[in-house]
Structure 1
């Protein structure tokens, strides 16, 4: 791979040159056979009855790795603010960790148990695993080089240094040694390996030191392992940041925690000679398998499974690149790791710690400051007193767009006002992921303690948030909230809130349906949509859906909702086919979909048929896309774009038709089997023409070539387009920040 993290081609596209075979493209991740030819999906998925080709699907795992490569391109981009580049390097690491813990681990488990099947892309399970290994090795090597040869030197130029122990001066050494003695040493637990001490268990994602010791009296070699404490800062500030009015005078120096420990190994092993030491890190299978049945308490089953998770088998071993062969042999033997699962990388390992560096207070090295403001329709007009949200939405629907619209002054205020309102009789709420100190949870507790009927449908199986969800589910139960865990066999992923209020004319229902979690922290970072409405049909739909989640109502029918697993996929396919029929009749057919992932074969096939009929199809996807756009005879009329930026694109939008036939939906579902078949998801249809217009306009922005984006080709390659002929293309998120600010200023006049 080239040492340069990115270059600019004549077309103005960015590339990471060793992984990319043509200017601006992401890595050529198409599966190859041993002879180097591209693997076709012969026999992968039987040809559809209407003659769609067998090789019409891209591989989902490779597509996910391409998504993380787009994250890496953001880190490599010299036009990005420097500390944001550091953060993208940390995000890449976190993303890949989760991919191995879940996707790779799950695939290996299915292979081991003999239940793995050929993927829709046509690859056998072991072929997929081989492709994952090859691409992951390439990407992790590129990631390390971008840090070492681009981002790290650029940080040094700005006075921010990540140093080694050899670069620590005498005064700093004295200070660091004192910190080690009083704060680090008491936490460490060195573990020897000998006949009396078997090889220790290495926890998943822990950073460790492998230490080779020599007994000076006997000359015998010994091995020991030290876990780098995750409770301590990943990078120690040996010289805290000195604030300065000029960047030239700014200085901050950081030392990796493992460097501090390695420099003081003589204190951990007195009387022994430290011969060698290396860092390593293990990734384990941390996906959950909880067997549910009607007679078992799901909470108890999950708590038991969380204990088992810590002891999942290793799926990846990262080691310092200079590790001696005999130490490597010991680790691979004791951990039962195959050679292909070993990743040799330059120190420091585990660059998730770069988030610490990215948090440095240097506004000139970050994105321009942004503060979410109250939605223009909810903002107070004549005084500083907050607007009565229930009164506002009793008159009209309000479409929210986070983080541009503040979550705290809209959704959070909606629940808090309902909890404090003496006329509110009941609040029903789904909770998938939220923060431990969530004001939403506090508001539900306040409402229950005030005597209101409060129902919380808690999804305690939300991956990696299970333990936290169990804790605050218990907290809700103790406060008198009715806590239920949804339907056996299905995760509850929909984002719903229902408020029942007694009014003069009778009981009225107020609702919120969103695309993102009820989490005030992520709402500042994730792009999401939400609808606040008092429409009676939506209120009736949510009442039926909550009854289905908490009781027995398996045959509920809905008026303005599409609900998985029963009606969501059929409802979307029906609308896609309707646009295809319009195109066949000579009218203009249009489908626009914005999701995190596009994998579902049935929906993709419907989109192919719509394209063949002449309808235009736009897909705006953040991550995985198994659809092949622009293929002659199959998908000439389909475009696929991806946008990455300061906010995580997270909303799901579905728009159909043109002119008087237009309709728009938002909701919680991605186009994946798990969402459409194994989760409770909900989409709501927009009624207000203004909101329909707004969603069509948002879709048009994401698909416009006037803004920076990646576009997907039919051969599975992503091409970055972020430069015009003479200058950078504008960022769609920056444009939306400006647009919403202008809208609020106009509303105040």
Structure 2
């Protein structure tokens, strides 16, 4: 099959053939390959044990969202009898069939991994995830007491009979299906018991009941559903428990709100959120292999499950809950802890200086000296972005603060600062994107809290999500007004700032300040802004400008000048951008793409994309920054921003991408790209047939882990360029012991 595709792709060697389906990978299948790379991190013995468990949990959580959104969307297309095909030539049903074919072996691999490797290795380290048949009578007695005191009062068994309709089952709920027999009549009954998600998934045993092993036990616990299953007779007194089986339900969880018809968008979304847990159709039914046909058929019929949506689980269901083990105090089983470093230019700031208008160390003065680039999580988010906003709140010369909030943390200092600013009389505008998937409820709550404090809250633009990450601070300085900006690639979220790699630019360049002023007017008013001075803004100018810059590299090659493009992002999906890149490759432009997740472009096709190389980096931190480099015949241009090359980012979201014009910062961004392109520890190379192959250090070659290099460089307090020069001399960079 792969050989046939390659033959067809080789024929598509002219510009007119660049839309041939053989020139594209399928979006959904490409995502599955990304999640396979995540699973590999759980398999890779080079990673510390608990980090492997973490990646197993992430793989599982990723699949949950994939089913709730992507699989659900495909199923809706099938039900609506939509027959259109994707750029790679597949119908919705064909995609569902191939997803199932690829996914079942991956899920089985995860279950086998945990049962045969991770669980035994955890036990050898004193972390015992126990099965009920491994318990002794004393341990079972203790867990029975736990059940009676803490679990039993919460449970609500639901019978199914003519007087009791089939119960509603919430999304991602873990349940026990129970078959009962009346000892007097011999009749059988069916019931469902939900495993309460208000309690921890694992119940620890006290130290005096830890299993006896050849080594000391640090933690031993049993899953909650096993405890419930062993005590079902308390829920159904007088009945005989014939059988019980664990199962899990995943529902379509995408919100469907007709924005143009909604009189109150916030109220409409709040209503949809309340319905989402129960009303979405079932898109995945996970069940234990011991489940009888009677129980399976009862559940399939009761929930109207399509037989293609059945996933038998040989091991643990909801493997995502294994993330709880990361809280165990076992540092030798985890990555070395990392404390983000205060950016060198901000290290002189102190708590006392924050808010003092004339202090020599004022952050505004630092930004006035030159633009400031931030690289998280290597550099501290709290000591930079949060302090920038806190200073703006306290500074009496700051007249206005405007920012976008796409996803924020549950205990956000930034939101509290905005409330304080509004209460002190400052003009505060917050655009809270209440359509941010799975954060709708949280963002609605924040929006209401902000509104009550006097903040001008905007819910976005009808028909568009506001995904851009920007802050605008307007400050009175003598007789002038000066505008300070932060333009980033990541959310204003202190928690994810420690988990995602992101970039941010702080500047007081007049053109950027003017552009952000226009952007906020576009977002908050009725502006029909058609152009910006420096910013590339979607859906207004971003697509056209990116395409123009790709074409410019083509023109350079045609004039016998070198053409070069390097782009780093989360996903490359857009057919128009892909076609432009193919044309650039055909013209001789050398293109390197660093795409963490989905990539629909096929590299290395003769006559089409042989000058394009694609790598993906999956490591300790989620690669989230977007960087775009164009050589431009030596007049280099570098951009950062919030947008991937996807139709939704270019056409259906408000995004902002900014040029980085400070020569020093431009070189730093190029160094980041160079480090990632040289990675031989976490990088995977995409082959033309669709497989990814992880790079390995060649014999005698040092290991280069891009994320470790950035940690080491930040710790030393030197530029990445200087660090790389020193590392080349010593050959010791990029390696981290555990």
The TM-score range, normalised by the shorter chain, is over 0.9
Instruction: Output the CA distance in 2 between the equivalents of 1:46 and 1:303.
Output: 51
Choose which of 115, 118, 123 in structure 2 pairs with 1:148. 115
Instruction: Output the CA distance in 2 between the equivalents of 1:705 and 1:307.
Output: 45
Choose which of 480, 491, 502 in structure 2 pairs with 1:517. 491
Task: Specify the SS of the correspondent of 1:174.
Answer: helix
* 8 Å contact kept, 1:622–1:643: yes
Instruction: Output the CA distance in 2 between the equivalents of 1:709 and 1:39.
Output: 24
Choose which of 190, 196, 217 in structure 1 pairs with 2:184. 217
* 8 Å contact kept, 1:701–1:707: no
Task: Specify the SS of the correspondent of 2:23.
Answer: coil
Distance 1:116 1:384, change over 3 A: farther
Quote the residue 2:106 is aligned against. Answer: 139
Quote the residue 1:596 is aligned against. Answer: 570
Question: Which runs of structure 2 are paired with 1:238-249 in the superposition (5 Å)?
Answer: 238-239=205-206, 248-249=215-216
Instruction: Output the CA distance in 1 between the equivalents of 2:14 and 2:101.
Output: 29
Instruction: Output the CA distance in 2 between the equivalents of 1:132 and 1:219.
Output: 44
Asked whether 1:353 is paired with 2:321, we answer: yes
The number of aligned residues is: 709
Distance 1:470 1:52, change over 3 A: closer
Quote the residue 1:81 is aligned against. Answer: 48
Quote the residue 1:472 is aligned against. Answer: 446
* 8 Å contact kept, 2:18–2:582: no
Instruction: Output the CA distance in 2 between the equivalents of 1:689 and 1:745.
Output: 13
Task: Specify the SS of the correspondent of 1:377.
Answer: helix
Instruction: Output the CA distance in 1 between the equivalents of 2:139 and 2:258.
Output: 54
Of the structure 1 ranges 171-180 and 674-683, higher mean CA displacement relative to structure 2 is found in 171-180
* 8 Å contact kept, 1:241–1:252: no
Instruction: Output the CA distance in 2 between the equivalents of 1:379 and 1:49.
Output: 56
Task: Specify the SS of the correspondent of 1:651.
Answer: coil
Distance 1:701 1:384, change over 3 A: farther
Asked whether 1:259 is paired with 2:233, we answer: no
Task: Specify the SS of the correspondent of 1:318.
Answer: strand
Asked whether 1:729 is paired with 2:694, we answer: no
Quote the residue 2:736 is aligned against. Answer: none
Normalising by structure 2, we get a TM-score of: 0.92
Quote the residue 1:605 is aligned against. Answer: 579
Instruction: Output the CA distance in 2 between the equivalents of 1:599 and 1:102.
Output: 17
Quote the residue 2:649 is aligned against. Answer: 675
Choose which of 320, 325, 343 in structure 1 pairs with 2:293. 325
Asked whether 1:314 is paired with 2:288, we answer: no
Distance 1:299 1:570, change over 3 A: same
Task: Specify the SS of the correspondent of 2:143.
Answer: helix
Instruction: Output the CA distance in 1 between the equivalents of 2:403 and 2:18.
Output: 45
* 8 Å contact kept, 1:63–1:625: yes
Task: Specify the SS of the correspondent of 1:654.
Answer: strand
Of the structure 1 ranges 576-585 and 256-265, higher mean CA displacement relative to structure 2 is found in 576-585
Query: How large is the Cα RMSD of the aligned pairs?
Result: 2.3
Normalising by structure 1, we get a TM-score of: 0.91
Asked whether 1:402 is paired with 2:369, we answer: no
Distance 1:511 1:327, change over 3 A: same
Quote the residue 2:367 is aligned against. Answer: 393
* 8 Å contact kept, 2:13–2:608: no
Question: Which runs of structure 2 are paired with 1:165-564 in the superposition (5 Å)?
Answer: 165-239=132-206, 248-293=215-260, 296-310=263-277, 311-380=279-348, 387-564=361-538
Distance 1:745 1:680, change over 3 A: closer
Asked whether 1:648 is paired with 2:615, we answer: no
Distance 1:289 1:241, change over 3 A: farther
Of the structure 1 ranges 341-350 and 74-83, higher mean CA displacement relative to structure 2 is found in 341-350
Instruction: Output the CA distance in 2 between the equivalents of 1:382 and 1:66.
Output: 46
Instruction: Output the CA distance in 1 between the equivalents of 2:8 and 2:258.
Output: 34
Give the unaligned 5+ runs of structure 1: 1-29
Instruction: Output the CA distance in 1 between the equivalents of 2:627 and 2:241.
Output: 59
Question: Which runs of structure 2 are paired with 1:613-692 in the superposition (5 Å)?
Answer: 613-657=587-631, 660-692=634-666
Quote the residue 1:24 is aligned against. Answer: none
Task: Specify the SS of the correspondent of 2:554.
Answer: helix
Instruction: Output the CA distance in 2 between the equivalents of 1:269 and 1:678.
Output: 53
Task: Specify the SS of the correspondent of 1:353.
Answer: helix
Instruction: Output the CA distance in 2 between the equivalents of 1:391 and 1:329.
Output: 69
Task: Specify the SS of the correspondent of 1:152.
Answer: helix
Quote the residue 2:716 is aligned against. Answer: 742
Quote the residue 1:7 is aligned against. Answer: none
